[in-house]
Amino acid sequence: DSKTKIKMLQEFYLKLNDTDLSIHGIGEGDEATLLEQAAIMNRSFASLPKDHQEIIADITKKMGAGMAEFVEVDMGQGTVRTADYDKYCYYVAGLVGEGLSRLFSASGLESPSVGKLTGLSISMGSFLQKVNIIRDYLEDFVEGRTFWPQEIWKKHMGNLGDMRDPAKEEASLACLNEMVFDALRHIPDCMEYLGGIHHPDVFFFCAMPQVMAVATLAKLYNNPKVFTGVVKVRKGTAAFLMEHSTTMPKVRGLFSNYIQVIQSKVKHTPERKAVLTRALEAIHDDKLEMPNMSGITYVALFALAGSLSYLIGKNGFVLPPLTAAF
């Protein structure tokens, strides 16, 4: 029941030191397996330096307490206020950003100052979570646990499920676009945070999801497919973005490209123009390296060639040399 769930969430951090922990009957698939084999995770946790354990336990405690606040809230029609939506994103993703920043510093990979970038860390995590929530509208609605705030969607229609109605597409897209712009508010913080990261591996670890997120936002904006399925970045594009998420100039270039993609679709209002302007200013156009997006085509072709080679090998087909075609 909900009371048991709340208690488990609030006290889960206390179980991190139980190296025999096994929890049954909760979740499905991999989630259930993880809880059943929690002892493996806890033994790994016990092998970490003490200061790392303290950071993880602290974040787990805060996250559990925060998630417990939403257990008895009816989420069938989303959160009521945008502030509640922000709070949820903080608990489930912003705190992850805070914890990672503290671990980067505690490990010595980054300077102590990175661990103190609490606000920026939280904003980074919240940005990723908001992109996921926007993208997963249909899946979440069907499962009865939506997060789109009523404060936004009730401006456009009477029921969150009506977004799926083709007859209401114009209003649905207006709501979707407002959600996208709410997420775009975080980009200046993301740029500032990434600009303070110096270790190459830490930078890639942080930058790659952010680049994927802004690319996803560009696909989500004004896209009616959000209400009928899942909109995703193509695999070839994802591979290209990963390859180019290695330095700040390259990341700035990718962000600039996708912000401009959104900008090209926007019917400008003063408020939206201000959001885009702040995002582009934070990217620093004078310090970016614009990607050659045509490279995505070559990545896609190599992926196709690899797939064909696999199928040919599996089925025993033999192709003539390419020169035979000329």
Marked catalytic residue, from 12, 13, 85, 88: 88
Q: Let me know the angle formed at the C-alpha of 122 by 116 and 126, rounded to the nearest 5 degrees.
A: 165
Marked catalytic residue, from 145, 164, 185, 234: 145
User: Which of 263, 269, 241, 267 has the alpha carbon at shortest distance from 254?
Assistant: 241
| Residue 81 falls in the annotated catalytic set | no
CA dist., res. 93 & res. 39, Å (int)? 24
Residue type, 177: N
Neighbours of 106 (CB within 10 A): 18
CA dist., res. 182 & res. 264, Å (int)? 18
Residue type, 117: L
| Residue 203 falls in the annotated catalytic set | no
CA dist., res. 171 & res. 205, Å (int)? 37
| Residue 88 falls in the annotated catalytic set | yes
| Residue 255 falls in the annotated catalytic set | no
Marked catalytic residue, from 12, 127, 135, 203: 135
User: Which of 143, 257, 246, 262 has the alpha carbon at shortest distance from 194?
Assistant: 246
Marked catalytic residue, from 185, 205, 234, 278: 205
Contact 95, 163 (CB under 8 A): no
H helix runs in the chain, sequence order: 2-11, 29-36, 38-46, 50-68, 82-89, 95-106, 118-135, 137-142, 150-153, 169-184, 187-195, 200-220, 235-243, 248-265, 270-283, 295-315
Three-state SS at 150: helix
Q: What is each CA distance from 57 to 50, 53, 325, in whole angstroms? A: 11, 6, 63
Contact 85, 132 (CB under 8 A): no
Contact 78, 147 (CB under 8 A): yes
Give 102's contacts (C-beta < 8 A, 6+ positions apart): 55, 59, 115
Active site residues: 88, 135, 145, 205
